[in-house]
Amino acid sequence: MTTYSVKMRASAAGRHISGAERIVTGGAVPDCVTALTRRALEHPKGEPDEVTVTVRAVDESRMEVLPVLATRNVDAGSPAEARAFIVDGLRRLGVRNPARIWELLTTVTGLRGAMLVDATSGVRLEPDPARGVRVSNLDHASADTGSPGKLHYREAIALATKVTAHPHIIAEVCISDDPDYTTGYLACEGTYTRVPAMKEPGSPVGTRVFLYDGPASEVAACVDWLENRVVLVEGL
Ligand code: PML
Ligand code: MG
Q: Whose CA is nearest to atom 9 of ligand 1?
A: 176
pLDDT in tens, 61-89: 889 999 999 999 999 999 999 999 999 99
Alpha helices in 108-181 (DSSP H): 151-165
Residue 210 has phi, psi (to 5 degrees) of -105, 130
Based on the fold, state whether residues 114 and 177 are members of the same structural domain: yes
Q: What is the pLDDT, as a whole number, of residue 15? A: 87
Based on the fold, state whether residues 45 and 147 are members of the same structural domain: no
Helix (H, G, I), strand (E, B) or coil at 111: coil
Q: Whose CA is nearest to atom 10 of ligand 1?
A: 176
Lowest mean pLDDT among 42-51, 132-141, 178-187: 42-51
- For the chain, the straight-line distance linking the first and the last C-alpha, in angstroms and rounded, comes to 23
Given 58, 80, 95, which residue is the final one in a domain?
58
Based on the fold, state whether residues 203 and 117 are members of the same structural domain: yes
Q: What is the pLDDT, as a whole number, of residue 188? A: 98
The overall average pLDDT reported for the chain is: 94
Based on the fold, state whether residues 125 and 23 are members of the same structural domain: no
CA of 177 to the centre of ligand 2 (A): 5
In percent, the amount of the chain with pLDDT more than 70 equals 97
Question: Taking residues 214-231, what's their average pLDDT?
Answer: 97
Based on the fold, state whether residues 140 and 159 are members of the same structural domain: yes
Q: What is the pLDDT, as a whole number, of residue 43? A: 81
Most ligand 1 atoms within 8 A of CB, residue of 178, 181, 205, 236 to mutate: 181
Task: State the ligand closest to the CA atom of 43.
Answer: 2
Q: Is the beta carbon of 85 within 6 A of some atom in ligand 1?
A: no
Task: State the ligand closest to the CA atom of 45.
Answer: 2
Q: Is the pLDDT of residue 166 over 80?
A: yes
Q: Is the beta carbon of 171 within 6 A of some atom in ligand 1?
A: no
DSSP state of 60: G
- The number of domains in the chain is 2
Based on the fold, state whether residues 107 and 220 are members of the same structural domain: yes
Cα–Cα distance measured from residue 105 to residue 79, given in angstroms and rounded to the nearest whole number: 12
Query: Is-contact 188 89, C-beta < 8 A?
Result: yes
Q: Is the beta carbon of 174 within 6 A of some atom in ligand 1?
A: yes
Based on the fold, state whether residues 126 and 40 are members of the same structural domain: no
Cα–Cα distance measured from residue 80 to residue 54, given in angstroms and rounded to the nearest whole number: 42
Cα–Cα distance measured from residue 139 to residue 153, given in angstroms and rounded to the nearest whole number: 13
Based on the fold, state whether residues 29 and 101 are members of the same structural domain: no
Based on the fold, state whether residues 79 and 162 are members of the same structural domain: yes
Based on the fold, state whether residues 43 and 150 are members of the same structural domain: no
Task: State the ligand closest to the CA atom of 192.
Answer: 1
Give the domain range for residue 90: 64-234
Q: What is the pLDDT, as a whole number, of residue 148? A: 64
